[in-house]
């Protein structure tokens, strides 16, 4: 640890009052440095208690995931994962990726489909998810609130089918055809142009 006295200019090093002030500041800084590991939560996230994780979720603005995405209280591990991803979520907030990642924390198969991918109106999007969102009003409301908290301002959920379930794969026959051509080699005589 560096000392205040060591960084003083030579003109002040001889003054006894300045030397006493530097020693007092060094004593205070030593206490602060000693307490840093107790308040450095991020490096020791795996060992934090549940009440402290709640405070960290509030501090990193991911406390809404507890209510919106799951509808039930999160486990400590889910809280740690949300806190760990929070900075990246906030950096990418307002993008398709962010909306998709937020939805995938609760619904791993969720996929955001942009308007140009399904022939919709500009700046609208749909969410493809395996769960029956339309039949569950509470789930629908939680997902819409999560999307509204994450999406950009100009994009909107398509009112003509915001949440759709993927079509089941149907089996059928695939027919293939081919055509063979015979390659003919022809010689064209060259002519001299005058």
Residue 174 — left, alpha, or beta (φ > 0 → left; ψ -120 to 50 → alpha)? beta
CA 100 to chain centre: 8
Is residue 44's pLDDT more than 80?
no
pLDDT in tens, 116-135: 988 888 999 988 887 777 77
Place of tokens 């055509």: 179
Q: 65 burial class (0-12, 13-18, 19+ CB within 10 angstroms)?
A: buried
Average pLDDT, the chain: 80
pLDDT in tens, 134-181: 777 877 887 888 888 888 899 888 887 777 766 665 666 666 666 566
**What percent of the chain lies above the pLDDT cut of 70?**
77
Give the residue extent of every domain in the chain.
Answer: 10-39, 46-83, 92-168
pLDDT band at 193 (very low <50, low <70, confident <90, very high): low
Q: Is residue 128 a contact partner of residue 113, using CB atoms and an 8 Å limit?
A: yes
| Bridging pattern class, strands 111-114 and 124-128 | antiparallel
Spell out the CATH class of 92-168.
alpha beta
Alpha carbons 40 and 38: distance in angstroms, whole number: 6
């Amino acid at each position: 640890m560096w000392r205040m006295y060591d960084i003083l200019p030579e003109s002040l090093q001889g003054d006894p009052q300045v030397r006493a002030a530097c020693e007092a500041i060094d004593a205070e800084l030593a206490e602060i440095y000693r307490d840093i590991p107790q308040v450095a939560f991020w490096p020791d996230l795996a060992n934090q208690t549940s009440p402290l994780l709640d405070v960290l979720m509030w501090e990193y603005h991911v406390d809404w995931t507890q209510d919106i995405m799951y509808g039930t209280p999160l486990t400590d591990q889910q809280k740690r994962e949300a806190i760990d991803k929070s900075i990246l979520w906030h950096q990418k907030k307002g993008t398709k990726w962010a909306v998709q990642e937020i939805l995938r924390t609760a619904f791993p198969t969720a996929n955001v489909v942009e308007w140009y991918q399904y022939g919709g109106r500009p700046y609208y999007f749909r969410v493809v998810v395996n769960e029956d969102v339309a039949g569950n009003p509470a789930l629908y409301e939680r997902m819409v609130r999560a999307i509204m908290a994450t999406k950009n301002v100009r994009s909107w959920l398509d009112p003509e089918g915001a949440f759709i379930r993927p079509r089941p794969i149907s089996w059928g026959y695939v027919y293939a055809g081919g055509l063979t051509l015979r390659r003919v080699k022809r010689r064209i005589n060259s002519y001299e142009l005058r």
